[in-house]
Chain A
Amino acid sequence: MSVLVYTETAKGKIKKSSLEAVNYGSRIATQLNTSVTAVIVGDADVAELGKAGAKKVLKLKNDKLTSLDGMYLTAAIEQAATAENATVIIFSHDFTGKEIAPRLAAKLKAGIVAGAVDNPTISGDALTVKKNVFSGKATAVYAINSAKKIISLLPNSFPVELTEGTAEVADFAVNLDAVNSPIKVKEVKKVTTELNLPDAELVVSAGRGLKGPENWGMVEELAKELGAATACSRPVADMHWRPHHEHVGQTGVAIRPNLYIAIGISGAIQHLAGVNGSKTIVVINSDKEAPFFKSADYGIVGDAFDIVPKLVAAVKNFKANHN
C-alpha cells in the first residue's frame, strides 16, 4: 500500500501546488501507516519533494511523455500506481489535475473528489473529505466508496511545510507502446508575467470602476509594490481592457490567495464565486452600498483614483520601515 502524488515543475522548480499535494499526501500516508511516492515526468531537481514528505520519487520516462497529453500521462501514472500498489492518489486541482485526475479515476474505477479543501477523515476503508460546492457558497462532505481513491487538492488550501527529509529517487520506465494519442501540440504560449494567478498569495484586482485600460498603471504599481499578481472582473476582460487569463469568478479562474484587494468591483455573486475563498478581502469602492462590502474584511469608501496612489505610497513607506 502507498500514497501516490502526481507532481510537476514550472520554470525548473517544483510547483508550490505540488509541494502542497505532497504535504497533503504525507499526512494521509501517516494515517494509513504507509509512505508517499511522488511521480514526476522527466528530469528535474526533486530534492524539494523529499523535504515536503515524499519517501520515494519516481521519474516517469518515455519518449511519448513530451506534452501533458492525457492519454499518455494517464497510462503512465496508472503504471506507477500499480507498481507502487497505491490505494490513494493525489493531484493538485489545477489545469493538469482537471485533465488527468478524472481520466485516471475512470480508468481505475476509483472514486474521486475534485477540489478537496481539508484533510480527509479515514477509518478503515472509508474516507471522507470536504470540497467547495455551489461555486464556494457551500461545502459538501464526500465519501469515497471504492477501494482505490483519488483526491485532487484545491491549491492554496494549506501552507507548504518543508523539513530536512530526503527521498529515494529512481527512474520509472513507462511502456506506452499500446497507447497512441492523435493529439499533436502545435504551439505553447506561456504567460510571461512572473506570478501565476492561481498560485499567487497576494492579488490586486480591478473592475469596471476604473473606467478604461489606460488607468491600470496604478493597479499594476500597487501589485508590484506588494509582490502581488493582478486580476480583473469579467466585463474588464470581455472589453479587452485586460487579458482573459486575469478574469476571476464563476466563469473565470477561482483563486484563494491570502489577500485579495478589489478596486472598483461591485461584488456580483458571480465575481464572489471565484474569490470568496480568499483569506482576507479588501474592497475599495466609491459607492458605500456596493454589495462587495458585505463580503469584505476591510473596506475603504472612496475614489480609486485618489486612494490607490496613496496606497502605493503607503506600501513603499511600509517596506522602507520593515526591511
Chain B
Amino acid sequence: MKILVCISNVPDTTTKIAFSADNSTFNAAGVQFVINPYDEWYALVRALELKEAQGGNVTILHVGTADSEATIRKGLAIGADDAVRIDAEPNDAFAVAEQIAAFAKDKGFDLIMAGKETINYNGSMVGAMLAELMNLPYVSLATKLEVAAGVATIEHDIDGGTEVVECALPLVLSANKGMAEQRIPNMKGIMSARTKPLQVVPAVATDKLTTITSYELAKGRTECKFIDASTPEKLIELLHNEAKAI
C-alpha cells in the first residue's frame, strides 16, 4: 500500500503568540516549530502501523519553504520512508491543496492522510479540498482506520455521534484523536532520517483565494473573582445576577 501523509509545520502548542508591530504577520522569531500534532500522532503513526502490518511505503509531504526541513526530518525519524517538500509559501488552504493535488495526481497513492486541522490556522480544509481536486472520496475526522483487501473501514465523528463507513481505496481522510498513539523517534530512526530521501518539488501556479489582512491577540479575562470555599452558594448568585449565565 502506498500512503501519503500530508504534514504541516506549526508552532509548538505552548508557544506564546506574537505579531509584527503593525499586526500584519505572525512573528516567528524564537518559535519552536513542530509537526502538526494531528498529522504526526494520528495520521503518520497509523500509516506506519499499517505499513508495518501489511507492507508498503509511507511518504510524507509538506508544502513549505526550506525552513521546515527540521520538521520533515522528524517525520522521517519517526519512520516515514521518504519525504517530499513542495517549495511554496503555504499561505492559503486552497493553494496548498492545489500544490498537493498537482504532485499526487499521477503517483498512485492508495491512501492520502491529512490531520483534522492545523493548530495555527485551524481550518480543517486541506483534506476535503484535495479530495475534490482529485475527485476522490473523503472521510473527515477519522478516529479508527483498518484496511483489508483494498477496502478501508473507518470510524469517524459526525454531528451527535460517530459513523462507520467502508470505502474502496483510493481515498483521502483527515485523522482525529483515537487513530493511533504518539511515537517518540528512537536513536536509530533519528540517525537514518539524515539519509532518507527528501525530494524538493518546484511549486505550480495556484489560486490564492483568501488573504489574512491583520491579526489580534485574544483579549484576556479581566480578573478572576474569588468566592470563599465556605460559601460556594455565592457563586450561583453571582452567575445569575452578575454574569447572567444562568
A residues touching B (Cβ–Cβ < 8 Å)? 8, 10, 15, 67-71, 74, 94-96, 98-107, 109-115, 128, 131-146, 181-191, 196, 202, 226, 244-245, 247, 250-252, 258-259, 269-270, 273, 276, 279-283, 293-303, 306-307, 310-311, 313-315, 317-318, 322
Residues of A within 8 A of B124 (CB): 98, 102, 114-115
Q: How long is the Cα–Cα vector from A182 to B163 in the complex, in angstroms?
A: 15
Partner of A94, one of B120, B126, B159, B237: B159
Q: Write the nearest CB–CB distance from A306 to chain B, whole angstroms.
A: 7
B211 touching A298, Cβ below 8 Å: no
> In the docked arrangement, what's the CA distance between A145 and B123, Å?
17
Assuming the contacts A138-B217, A251-B177, A298-B227, asked whether A259 and B212 have C-beta atoms less than 8 A apart, the reply is no
A98 and B243 form a contact (CB under 8 A) = no
**Chain A residues, CB < 8 A from B246:** 202, 226, 259, 318
Determine the chain B residues whose CB is within 8 A of the CB of A100 once the complex forms: 128
B224 A188 Cβ-Cβ under 8 A: no
The distance in angstroms between the C-alpha atoms of A140 and B118, with both chains bound, is 15
**Is B166 an interface position by the 8 A CB rule?**
yes
Q: For B162, what are the chain A residues with a Cβ–Cβ distance below 8 Å?
A: 188-189, 245
Interface size class on chain B is 35 or more
Are A181 and B137 closer than 8 Å at their CB atoms?
Answer: yes
- The total number of A-B Cβ pairs within 8 Å is 271
Q: Is the CB of A294 within 8 A of B37?
A: no
Within 8 A of A (CB), among B214-229: 214-218, 220-222, 224-229
Collect the chain B residues with CB atoms within 8 Å of residue A282's CB.
Answer: 235, 239
Bound-state CA distance A280–B122 (Å) is 23
Selected from B120, B166, B208, the residue in CB contact (under 8 A) with A184 is B166
Contact sample, A vs B, 17 pairs, CB 8 Å cutoff = A98-B124, A98-B140, A102-B132, A111-B209, A114-B124, A133-B120, A143-B213, A182-B168, A188-B162, A190-B160, A191-B161, A196-B159, A252-B177, A259-B246, A276-B218, A302-B229, A311-B232
Q: Given A74-B132, A133-B215 in contact, is the A186-B158 Cβ separation under 8 Å? A: no
CA–CA, A220 and B224, complex, Å: 25
- For residue B129, CB closer than 8 A to chain A, the reply is yes
Contact at B138–A314, with CB atoms within 8 Å? no
Given contacts A10-B160, A145-B208, A269-B13, contact A307 B229 (CB under 8 A): yes
Q: Which of A99, A114, A185, A295 contacts B220 (CB 8 A)?
A: A295
Interface of B is mostly: mixed
B140 to chain A, nearest CB (A): 4
- Cross-chain contact B209 with A112 (CB below 8 angstroms): yes
**B132: which of A95, A103, A318 is its contact (CB, 8 Å)?**
A103
The list of the 7 closest CB pairs from A to B, nearest first, reads: A302-B229, A111-B209, A314-B233, A102-B125, A106-B132, A190-B161, A102-B128
B246 to chain A, nearest CB (A): 7
Residue of chain A at shortest CB distance from B170: A182
Residue numbers of B with Cβ under 8 A of A are: 11, 13-15, 17, 19, 37-38, 93-94, 97, 119-133, 137-141, 143, 153, 157-168, 171, 177-178, 207-218, 220-222, 224-229, 232-233, 235-240, 243, 245-246
| Distance (whole angstroms) from the CB of A199 to the closest CB of chain B | 9
**In the bound complex, CA of A307 to CA of B165 (Å):** 44
Q: How distant is the Cα of A99 from the Cα of B138 in the complex, in angstroms? A: 8
The reply to whether A96 and B163 form a contact with Cβ atoms under 8 Å apart is no
* Contact, CB under 8 Å: A298 / B224: yes
Q: Are A186 and B164 in contact (CB under 8 A)?
A: yes
Q: Specify the chain A residue showing the minimal Cβ separation from B129.
A: A106
Interface core residue of A98, A101, A190, A282 (most chain B CB under 10 Å): A98
Q: A137-B217, A270-B13 are in contact. Are A70 and B138 (CB under 8 A)?
A: yes
Please, how many angstroms separate the alpha-carbon atoms of A179 and B2 in the complex? 26
Closest to A288 in B: B226
Give the distance in Å from the alpha carbon of A317 to the alpha carbon of B121 in the complex. Answer: 44
Question: Which of A8, A107, A140 touches B159 (beta carbons < 8 Å)?
Answer: A8
Chain A residues within an 8 Å CB radius of B163: 67, 185, 187-189
Q: Which residues from chain B contact A183 at a C-beta distance below 8 Å?
A: 137, 139, 165-167, 171
Task: Tell me if B93 and A102 are in contact (CB < 8 A).
Answer: yes
A contact residues around B178 at 8 Å (CB): 244
- A134 with B119: CB separation less than 8 A: yes
Contact status of A259 and B232, CB under 8 A, knowing A142-B213, A182-B168, A250-B119: no
Contact B215 A188 (CB under 8 A): no
Q: Do A134 and B210 touch (CB < 8 A)?
A: no
Query: Apart from A102-B123, A105-B209, A279-B243, what 15 extra A-B contacts exist at CB < 8 Å?
Result: A95-B159, A101-B125, A109-B209, A114-B122, A132-B122, A133-B122, A183-B167, A184-B165, A188-B164, A196-B160, A273-B13, A298-B225, A302-B229, A311-B232, A318-B236
